Each structure stands twice: as C-alpha cells, then as structure tokens.
C-alpha cells in the first residue's frame, strides 16, 4: 500500500477537506459514544496546527437521500466539536456545494453528506463539487473505507492532492500488526446478530487464529446444528455452512446460555443448557460455564481480535458475558484490537478504552480488511498517488 500521508503535505493556508467518520450513536440529540469523534480529532488538530482552512465532512446514519432529516443532522457533533476547539472559529454549513469561505486556522463542519443526492451511488457530478471545495483532500474515514461513494471514493478522481489522515494510517498499521505474524496463541471473538455477514471473515480468521469464539446470533446458528433453540435469533439457511466451519476449525460455542421469554430490558434471565431451551424462550447471553471457559482461553492469549458483543449487552440481565469478556481483554497483556460499532459502545459502557491496544473505528471496513479485500478508499489513494508520479515523469 503506497499513498501520501497528511504529514508529507504542505497544508498552510490551504483548504483542507477531511473526510472523517463521525457516524456516532445519537439519542434525543445526545451523543451516546464519542469514540469515533475522539479518533478523528488528531488529524483535525494537525491541520489546524499547520494553519490550514479545515473543512470536515461525514455521514450519519441512513437518511433518505436528498432529504434533510433532523435526527440525522450533524448539528450535535458540531456542538461537541465547538466545545473541543473552543479557541477556534468553527462554523456549521448546511449549503456548501457551491463553495465555502474560510480563513486559515478556522473550521467548517459540513452537514450530513448523505443528505446530498448521488452520494450513495458515487455520483461523479457530486464528487466534483466536493473536490471543488478544497485544495487537498484527506481520507481519514477508515470506518467508511469499504464504501464506494462520492465522498469516500469518487472525489479522488477530481482533487489535485489526496492523502490519508492519521487515523486512517493508524488503523491500517494496527490491523497489519495483528494479522501479520501475530504472537500466539491468537484468539478471535466474533459476535453480533448475523452469521451470514461474517462467514467470510470467520473462514479467514479460522485459518490464522488458534481459537475462534462465537457469540450472539452467530453462536445461536452454530447451536442450531445440534439443538432446538426456541425463538432465539439465528439464521436457519446458514446452519449447514456453520457445521462445515465447526467441523473443520477450533470454534468455541456456548455450553450454557442465559435465556428469557420476552425481548425487553426488564426481562429476568434463566440459565439453561442448549438442550433444555423451550419453544417460547430465546438465548440472549452466554452462561456462567461458557464464560469460565472463554476467560481461561483469553487469559492465555497473546493476540486478541474482538468484533462484536456476545449477548444483548444493552439489557442489564443479559450483559454479564460481554462484560466479563470485555474486562478480561482489558486486563490482558495480549496485543488486543477491537472493532465495530457495537464493540465501541461496549468499550464506552465499561470504560476500558485505555486498556485495549488498538480500537478500530471500523465495522464493515474492519472485517473486509481482515478478509484480505482491497478497500475502495485505499484503492483510490493508491491510484491517485500513482497518477501523481506519472504526471511528474
């Protein structure tokens, strides 16, 4: 991977457009997890220190394209950054496609790029308008690096200078460290709802990790190979694929579970073996025997890759499995890398961010990188760098 780093570019008095990923959970206008914002700040600070004219763009959620929907506005993020950069003039721009006036050392936060028609299908017309806003484009949104969209990919065709930001480069270097000649034993934890979205990464990790631990709906699909699991979330169409994986690799599935009859915060949990689960019950967390087994494995690990919770951690009675795993990883001496939106929420909930070796802001991008796929944003930066070299010849 060869492309320009922001630290190699002359930024002073230049309009620098940073594509960050500020897609954070917001409820009633209140930010629930600051992780992605905090991760984006070093690149912004660096550009300010160089006295650049800093423009920040991002998406938030999945609004209906072309419509301004208040609940998907970046206004709460603007308010957060206004407090962070309280000695800097900072503006919020709703209407920016025809240009932005900005002085050196100032910041403009652009409204949600997904409010613009053409963003999702990588409209060239829109990409050119983004490019016209700046002298330098900085791709720093690793969590969106797997998206081929106007603000993450298309813009690269029209800007004079494109480079990677600090977060983007840190993500790649840390993932390479975890995947290339990892210290062993290497353990991977793959949780979340759908096994179908993670089959490729399970295949790849199974070949490089010594042990795979599955949780959540993914684990339920594995349990459904041998048991009737009531109304537990799982994917019947993938049971056969799950069996092939389980029979070939060292995959740890739950030996007991916390179950309930109603999917709600106040539901009481009952501990059960998979063979005892009734038709009207659903698995919502791993049981104590499973926790004990997993913690033993984690305490002996030298490298840990963690993607996804192992239960419905939002519900107090079904949080224990995820909490114990999170705290054990935090107390481990292993090189640990964690990624994915729900994983970030877990890290915030248990206040362990300073005890994880590296926290990836990526979910889909994190998984696709592990799978060995070339992310579109990396492709764009490499192509831009190659074209720049050809122009100099």
| 340 in a known ligand binding site | yes
Predicted confidence at residue 392, as pLDDT, reads: 64
For the question of residue 36 being annotated catalytic, the response is: yes
pLDDT above 60 for 150: yes
For the question of residue 341 being annotated catalytic, the response is: yes
Judge contact between 236 and 249, C-beta under 8 A: no
Residue 343: strand, helix, or coil: helix
Residue 325 to residue 214: CA distance in whole angstroms: 12
- Encode burial over 181-211: b for 16+ CB neighbours within 10 A, e otherwise: ebeebbbbbbbbbebeebbebbebbbeebbb
Judge contact between 267 and 312, C-beta under 8 A: no
Residue 204 to residue 217: CA distance in whole angstroms: 19
pLDDT above 60 for 393: no
Residue 220 to residue 215: CA distance in whole angstroms: 8
Q: What average pLDDT is seen over the chain?
A: 92
pLDDT digits (tens, 9 = 90+) for 77-126: 999 999 999 999 999 999 899 889 999 999 999 999 999 999 999 999 99
- Active-site option among 128, 261, 364, 383: 364
Q: What is the pTM of this model?
A: 0.83
Give the tokens for residue 114: 């997904």
- Active-site option among 14, 15, 19, 36: 36
Query: Which domains can be identified in the chain, with CATH numbers?
Result: 6-165+374-391 (3.40.50.1260), 184-333 (3.40.50.1260)
Residue 113 to residue 79: CA distance in whole angstroms: 18
| 253 in a known ligand binding site | no
| 388 in a known ligand binding site | no
Which three-class secondary structure string do you get for 252-317? ECCCCEEEECCCCCCCCCEEECHHHCCCCCEEEEECHHHHHHHHHHHHCCCEEEEECCCCCCCCHH
| 198 in a known ligand binding site | yes
């Amino acid at each position: 991977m060869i492309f320009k780093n922001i630290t190699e570019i002359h930024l002073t008095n230049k309009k620098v457009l940073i594509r960050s990923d500020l897609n954070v959970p917001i409820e009633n206008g209140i930010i629930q997890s600051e992780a992605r914002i905090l991760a984006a700040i070093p690149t912004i600070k660096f550009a300010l220190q160089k006295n650049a004219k800093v423009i920040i763009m991002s998406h938030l959620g999945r609004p209906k394209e072309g419509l301004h929907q208040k609940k998907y506005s970046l206004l709460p993020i603007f308010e957060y950054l206004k407090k962070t950069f309280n000695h800097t003039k900072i503006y919020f721009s709703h209407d920016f496609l025809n240009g932005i006036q900005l002085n050196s050392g100032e910041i403009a936060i652009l409204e949600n790029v997904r409010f613009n028609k053409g963003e999702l299908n990588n409209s060239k017309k829109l990409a050119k308008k983004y490019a016209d806003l700046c002298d330098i484009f900085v791709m720093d949104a690793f969590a969106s690096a797997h998206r081929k969209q106007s603000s993450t990919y298309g813009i690269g065709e029209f800007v004079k200078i494109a480079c990677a930001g600090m977060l983007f480069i840190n993500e790649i270097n840390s993932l390479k460290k975890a995947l290339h000649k990892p210290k062993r034993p290497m353990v991977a934890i793959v949780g979340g709802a759908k096994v179908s979205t993670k089959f490729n990464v399970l295949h790849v990790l199974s070949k490089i990790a010594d042990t795979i631990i599955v949780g959540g709906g993914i684990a339920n699909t594995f349990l459904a190979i041998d048991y009737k699991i009531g109304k537990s979330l799982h994917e019947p169409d993938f049971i056969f694929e799950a069996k092939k994986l389980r029979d070939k690799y060292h995959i740890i599935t739950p030996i007991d579970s916390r179950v309930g009859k109603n999917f709600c915060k106040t539901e009481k949990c009952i501990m059960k073996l998979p063979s005892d689960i009734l038709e009207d019950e659903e698995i919502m967390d791993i049981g104590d025997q499973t926790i004990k087994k997993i913690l033993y494995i984690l305490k002996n690990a030298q490298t840990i890759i963690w993607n996804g919770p192992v239960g419905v951690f939002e519900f107090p009675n079904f949080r224990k499995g995820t909490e114990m795993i999170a705290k054990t990883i935090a107390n481990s001496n292993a090189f640990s890398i964690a990624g994915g939106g729900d994983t970030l929420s877990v890290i915030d909930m248990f206040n362990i961010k300073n005890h994880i070796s590296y926290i990836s802001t990526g979910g889909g991008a994190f998984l696709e990188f592990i799978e060995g796929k070339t992310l579109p944003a990396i492709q764009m930066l490499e192509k831009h760098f190659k074209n720049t070299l050809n122009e100099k010849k």
